[in-house]
Amino acid sequence: MTILEEKLIELGKYKPELTRQPDFERFWEMAMEEIYPSASGIPSWRIDTEAREISEEYEVSYAFNLEDCLYPLEKVKVYKASLEASDGTLLRGWYLCPAEAGEGNKVPGLVRFHGYSSNKGKISELLLWALQGYAILAMDVRGQCGDTPDARVYSSGAFSGWMTLGLDSPMEYYYRQVYLDSVQMIESLARRPEVDPLRIGLFGNSQGGALAIASAALLARFASSIPGITANVAAVNAGIPFLSDMKRAYKEHGDGPWAEFDWYFRMHDPFHEREDAIFETLSYFDIMNFAPWVKCPVLVSAGLKDTACPPPTIFALYNHLSGEKEIIPYPDYGHEMIDNHVDKQIIFFARKLLR
């Protein structure tokens, strides 16, 4: 037996207990209700996180503002896209679609989520997909290194970065609104007249993989109970996914965003007296806890020398997925873009989404 085979047998058996809190499902149902109006026509609402109460009613938008972007290709339409998030933040990104796509010729849609501390990327990166026949959306994650700010106000400070923003409560934690932004982006894409809402694919690396899993899970779980959900996520590719099995990820990380917690504890809690409370908050955002809700086929990749998202944490997610799934381990890769995986992505989405 090779070293790789031994390692994969060990990782294949790793399925830790989910760390969901008793109100995990209700917490996310209430969050989803914020961005989907009820069947009775009652509008959604904005939450005052400090007061823990509704601050104002709000009509959530699922309509992109699209601005033509001159680009020397006749087969693809390129737009600058913006979307008002449920807290009023203007999310910005790119939207590309085949020139022949329209209401009478609907095409599958893709959403690409970017990695931690990155942004929506370049038009050229998205052409790979638009030229295959997909409508593709790529938008900034709020507050990170793009053109989208984070309009929220947090009740306490944080270490440099976004991992420790709003740790006082799950209601306030940074990724709560990021997950809702992701759902809103997907729903907005699904409602485009040229997009087939039943053929939506999600993908991304690292943080992007986490957002793909979380949003696919939320849409699948509440599709039958929350009116207004039209997006059907038909396939997910989660590359070297971040934010999984969070406590183990923190214990085993060698670099990457988890280092923010090293400094946070040093400065705010040097004896880890609040450690349990902090990881209880984080459990609401641990994508391992979302995995059983994902219903569509999922392709996962893992770098077996990854020290930012240690391989066991990725297998924890994978082993809790209950539907059709495949994981591709790359023995000699760390936390990095894996060029060899792009062909796997193309084949995966073509089989699941193209007709």
Active centre residues (catalytic):
206, 306, 335
Q: Can you tell me whether residue 131 is helix, strand or coil?
A: coil
Q: How far apart are CA 260 and CA 174, in angstroms?
A: 14
Sign of the CA dihedral running 336, 293, 179, 272: negative
Q: Which tokens hold the place of 155?
A: 């009740």
The closest alpha carbon to 318, from 297, 341, 346, 348, belongs to 297
Q: How far apart are CA 314 and CA 306, in angstroms?
A: 10
Edge to edge, the sheet with strand 195-205 lists 65-68, 76-84, 90-98, 135-139, 107-113, 195-205, 233-239, 298-303, 325-330
The closest alpha carbon to 111, from 291, 238, 299, belongs to 238
Q: Can you tell me whether residue 152 is helix, strand or coil?
A: coil
